[in-house]
Amino acid sequence: MSNFSVGFRTKGAILVLALQGELDAHTASELEAAIRKCQEENSYQIIVNGENLQYISSAGLGVFMAHIEEVRENGGDIKIAALQPKVFNVFDLLGFPMLFDIVETEAEALARFENAEA
Amino acid sequence: MARSVHTKTIPSSTRYLEDVRQFVVTLAQQADFPEDTVEKFKIAVDEACTNIIEHAYGGQENHEVDIAIIVEKDRFTVRIRDEGAPFDQSKYHEPNLLEIAKKRQAGGLGVHIIRSLMDRVEYRTRGQVNEIRMTKYRTSGNAQNGETK
């Protein structure tokens, strides 16, 4: 049984993926499927809400890496919000803050998308 | 604090990663490591097992991964053995995030994580058996803690 799930919400044109549980090499395919679904629906403004994400390994981080270029080429972005400190540490260890917009709250991520459009 | 060895064998499938993490966390907590260090062991062991499952065994699930945790007064060592394809350190390059993103490739980050989190990482191959040995030493404060138990 998988202990990871992705919830979808929309905020206008922006899609919020709410991650829950533990993201590892076994569950990364679920995040992969979720991001592919966004792309198939031409939703390229994506916020990943990590408030309930308990754990991430490089397999999970690799999913973001594999899709960020395509999302940005289509005028969008993947903004990562509300990570727990222990999860943020793994992002930080690999230098993700250099490549990704990582913010403290979902509201901040929304504001950044809105400001970019203004 | 006496030396203790704890072993666990899992089939070579990612569905057992969660069990491995729990195994490591329980032992590291029992050995009185602080929470942030426990978290480091958990990630390093997950990454090492993932690499074995996906690379050494190429995703084939009909093999075994042997994990041993050795708790000593001054250190915590995780030894993982497999009989798959050996990891060739000479072909390993530190990952460059921008290049990985451009190539749209997932992966290649696990070894970097292991090396960043553990004090010592050694690879060995003897006959058919590959071994990764990852060690973290206690800081003096933690060692004292362990002695009083």
Instruction: Give residue-wise pLDDT tens across range B82-92.
Output: 999 998 888 88
Torsion region of B144: left, alpha or beta (phi above 0 gives left; psi -120 to 50 gives alpha): alpha
Q: How far is CA B40 from the centre of its chain?
A: 10
Distance from CA of A117 to the nearest CA of B (A): 24
How many other CB atoms are there within 10 angstroms of residue A74's CB atom?
13
Helix, coil or strand: residue A86: helix
Q: Do A26 and B15 touch (CB under 8 A)?
A: yes
Q: What interhelical angle do A85-93 and B35-51 show, nearest 10?
A: 50
Q: What is the pLDDT along chain A (118 residues), one digit of tens a residue?
A: 569 999 999 999 999 999 999 999 999 999 999 999 999 999 999 999 999 999 999 999 999 999 999 999 999 999 999 999 999 999 999 899 999 999 999 999 999 999 887 6
> Quick one: which of A63, A22, A16, A13 has its CA closest to A42?
A13
> Which chain A residues are Cβ-neighbours of B54 within 8 angstroms?
25
Query: Residue A47: its pLDDT value, please?
Result: 98
Tokens of A21: 């549980």
Mutation to test the B interface, candidates A23, A26, A64, A65, most B Cβ within 10 Å: A65
Tokens of B39: 């978290």
Separation of first and last alpha carbons in chain A: 44
Residue count (chain A): 118
Burial A79-116 (b: 16+ CB within 10 A, else e): bbbbbeebbbbbbebbebeebbbbbeebeebbebbeee
